[in-house]
A and B are shown apart, each in its own frame.
Chain A
């Protein structure tokens, strides 16, 4: 390396280091991850810091950009509670706030954390097995029965059932106290979230800092997921079990993560409505009939998993799931009743339970907790109320006014007195906890590093070889400088966790070893709901396209300096077609055609507008997110941007024409993605069927409106525009547009990819390839209908086509759509299905 260069970069490195550290002042009385008590950078952070200092500010910005683009491109998002619009799942989705500084933890320290988390997972598993089993810990007085019964997650119907509370994935939220020790703030046993986010954070930072990532020997995450998967497989009796991830749906705050994990782990993403219990077994409703589900990894609360035996108000679950679990026909992970040990009340008993059950102290202590259901503990809490944090002992306990954690000393005198009274009256609803101060870690802000409080979520998975802890985790960083544990609720940023090893680390990938894979060309199962959504995604996209084509044809005529005869009539007709298809408001005779065209692009109030069709397309796409590629998702972003009226200014006719034209190009790109990049499986087939049907129906409508017996030349010209058939027509016929040749090209020509006949041929091919249920040799309804359509298209002559016969084609296509829905989609279930109420 040239000496001169080193000197120069060495000098600026030192300067950069000084600049980064300039404002870093650890908070008094708080442990800082980065700087030690005497103000020096802790040694295990040095490689990271020097890695950063090797980069110029502009390089650093460029690296951040890489990470942020990765986050944006994969569409990592989360949802904020209470910020939901049923009609548009895009509302309330927030971009993922990634902090570019990872939390660095040396391996030696990590081993203590891992041992502590493993020990806790074992302890909580034992307690769960006892609660839903023999109840010895309770009978012997190690755990009051009321600590169990107070939890809404104690599910009585699971009592005595094998696996009722089995823990498969456990998470602990940790914080580090002022003395440098790690503490458990909260146990997560219900359905812990965050593994997918941890993985995403890892991919984003690894993309930004690949060099550091290699040189610092950072422990990889893939092996953990492999073990987790193996653990789920081992629960099943079958060698290649069908594993389903049960999601609450696209409106859930961490739906993105669920879709992401399903794709990463190769699980089927299902909602309650996709599953059906029959003969004691749980099945996935697929387009090929019922397929058995062996293992269900649930991301819904246990209580919501079965409206029959658990919460009858749940619309998320599977009626009869508990019975299937009881009969041992399906494994649910975590066990449905596992949430009961999340209760804060239990934390007060864990130190003694560890000694009794495991014969040793907790490696990772939890925050000191006193359950006020015991007289002595209640007295302690009341005596020290001013210095304690008071929290509900159970999820949802208390009476609303105090359903969250409060620091009693900070309450106004009257409120504190009222709290004291409530604790005296019903102590069992409360715990007192020591107020914990969290440690701080660096966050890059305003060009330098600043200390911010953080918590760390660590995951452990039960596997055939015992508990495995993810070497890393999900780190949440507060924006507030307040380092008390209670203020972490609004943790706003997250970061990757780097466990650094002394030795180079082994590389593991989820890709299986080649000799163990049997070759397959057909990928798995397509749930009926996914097929339904893909079908409608295709239809909505095509509907948006049809509207945009109408707009373009209309405005193209408006801005044409040399109008053809009869042009005004054609323009009026096109505007009328926009109204008829619901793209523009009716009853507005005074509005100019251009104003109607404008509405047809932007108006979300008109269900047929391009913007509304796109919104619907996005809604259907968002519930099958795991089936769409990143590129497809990005195109949605582009389209949405294009169809968003900028700053409320009304564009001119020419500009609107261009907007429609550009949006059509984006849609063409979407089609191209589907044609070139999607495997020709059943998923693609339904997307294509949706598009073809919609296109066929729209073309029939265009032809009916514009090509009747007294159609003007300009009408026929518009029809050729709408069906993109101008060039073909001109290459075949020298004269101007005339009725029968145009109708033949648009309706019957099987070689014109925009004709109705072409759509029907494709529909015939695709439907023939779909799975059949009947084995009696009879044709199923969709196939029967499409065969008839194909025969009609082939035998029809252009001279016999008129409004009536075109309408018949249109009706047959709509009938085909209905037949496909009846046969392949979930009918009469989900929200439309009613619930029986009973009487007193």
Chain B
């Protein structure tokens, strides 16, 4: 499947900002069943300094410095991406979860895709005992890891309500868990917390999902959204498998990956320091258009 992506973010400031330095993680990464055919990032106002780089986890990273006063920062990402992932493994034939945990702990690699990076609590995914207990009920002794994880994913989809009003970027996952309400970011964090609590390596992915308009309706311009889900390491043979608890789906060709990390903090589309007083407003428009 080939997609045309467009993601526009606009920051409006109540007072002019004289200086800002930011890291942007908006350009999609290559590999793992997807190929970036073309991508660009337009920034207005034009930054005084701009550097492209790759972060530790292999994500695209753009560092910019804007030195002239501005009241608006507009970031427009456009990309053309081909997605063709291998079929997911048969869940019932994966290794049992205790083995996977032991293998991860025994890892001899600090490479970006090593499971060792994803075993411990991270900044936005602390250890929350009730979340681990919630996850544990799907992990009977000796159960194949992907089968158990898929059950956990299905339970999250069933037990939690998608509700953009319930949480913000900064809501702790324990709170979202308590409410049983949230958005994709919360569900991904909750799933990761549960898996890691059991000693399984779990990662966070930011990206997009293709949306199919209801029958007879046209796709609305800019109405798509960015998305997030979890990844589970299923052993050295299979490696990482994407699990989308918001939609109860194993990730295949409808998902487009932007970045991969331990939690949202590693992949936040924008991190930065703005020097100046005042408040900010954010506007977002996303289009995910399948073109062939």
Contacts and interface: CB of A to CB of B under 8 A. Distances in A.
A833 B276 contact: yes
A399 interface: yes
A840 B226 contact: yes
Interface centre among B120, B169, B282 (most CB of A within 10 A): B120
Interface stretch (A41-49, A68-76, A308-316): A308-316
A135 B126 CA distance: 27
Contacts of A141: 108
A836 interface: yes
Interface stretch (A148-156, A220-228, A513-521, A598-606): A148-156
A373 B273 CA distance: 38
Nearest to A279: B49
B110 A840 contact: no
Contacts, number: 141
A139 B128 CA distance: 32
Contacts of B127: 398-399, 426
Contacts of B49: 279
A428 B119 contact: yes
Interface stretch (B145-153, B249-257, B261-269): B261-269
Given A425-B199, A426-B197, A835-B274, A397 B120 contact: yes
A312 to B, nearest CB: 5
Contacts of B272: 308, 319, 835-836, 838
A427 to B, nearest CB: 8
B116 A145 contact: yes
Contacts of A507: none
Contacts of B107: 144-146
A131 interface: yes
A422 to B, nearest CB: 9
A145 B110 contact: yes
Interface residues of A, number: 46
A368 B219 CA distance: 65
A149 B9 contact: no
B235 to A, nearest CB: 16
B55 to A, nearest CB: 7
Nearest to B275: A833
Contacts of B105: 144, 146, 373, 428
B116 A836 contact: no
A308 B275 contact: no
Contacts of A836: 11, 20, 22, 270-274, 280
Contacts of A279: 49
Nearest to A833: B275
Given A150-B120, A840-B185, A834 B278 contact: yes
Given A146-B107, A399-B129, A425 B198 contact: yes
B169 A839 contact: yes
Interface string A384-409: 00000000001001110000000000
Nearest to B107: A145
Contacts of B265: 312
Contacts of B226: 840
Interface of A: 131, 135, 138-141, 144-146, 148-150, 156-157, 159, 277, 279, 307-309, 311-312, 319-320, 323, 373, 375, 394, 397-399, 425-426, 428-429, 828-829, 832-840
Interface of B: 9, 11, 18, 20-23, 49, 51, 55-57, 63, 102, 104-110, 114, 116-117, 119-121, 123, 126-129, 132, 169-170, 183-185, 197-199, 226, 228, 264-265, 268-280, 282, 284
Given A141-B108, A145-B108, 12 more contacts: A131-B110, A135-B110, A138-B108, A138-B109, A149-B110, A397-B121, A399-B129, A426-B127, A836-B22, A836-B271, A838-B268, A840-B228
23 contacts: A135-B109, A135-B110, A144-B116, A145-B108, A145-B114, A145-B116, A156-B56, A157-B56, A308-B23, A319-B21, A323-B51, A375-B102, A426-B199, A835-B274, A836-B20, A836-B270, A836-B273, A838-B270, A839-B169, A839-B270, A839-B284, A840-B185, A840-B228
Q: Which 10 pairs of residues, A with B, have the shortest CB-CB distance?
A: A145-B116, A838-B270, A156-B56, A836-B272, A399-B127, A319-B273, A149-B116, A145-B107, A833-B275, A840-B185
